[in-house]
Amino acid sequence: MANVHILTQQNGRVRMAFHVPIPNVNNARGVNYRSAVVNAGLATTSALPSGDGTAGTISAAEVTSLASGALVEEVREIKRAITTNAELDALFTRVQAEVQGNLQNALADFGYTR
């Protein structure tokens, strides 16, 4: 499964879909973050068409991972073209840390009832 999919490039801007894995751990209330993503309505669908995961499509396994909360898709536009794999990997690492951190903060107490 790919972590980054280039969607479009226009006027020096690149639109990408990032597939960010959600850790299989529990929040402060004992609710698994993947379940919290789904139950909070934050599970995502894909900007990519269904297919086999090649030629700009998303595989069935990735669709299942998105629906189960194991992955979320974050679509972003950046200002310039990516020129090397190292740049793309570094960008993914930054986006992954941001998305995971934001979700963990947002869902830290998800499931608390009284």
pTM of the predicted structure, to 2 decimals: 0.91
Residue 31 pLDDT level (bands cut at 50, 70, 90): very high
Residue 68 pLDDT level (bands cut at 50, 70, 90): very high
Q: How far apart are CA 39 and CA 35, in angstroms?
A: 6
Q: How far apart are CA 107 and CA 23, in angstroms?
A: 12
Average pLDDT over residues 19-36: 97
E strand segments, the chain: 4-10, 13-21, 71-78
Q: How many CB atoms lie within 10 A of CB 73?
A: 20
Query: What is the per-residue DSSP string for 41-71?
Result: T-----SSPBSSS-TT-B-HHHHHHHHHTSE
Which pLDDT score, from 0 to 100, does residue 82 have?
73
Domain ranges of the chain: 4-106
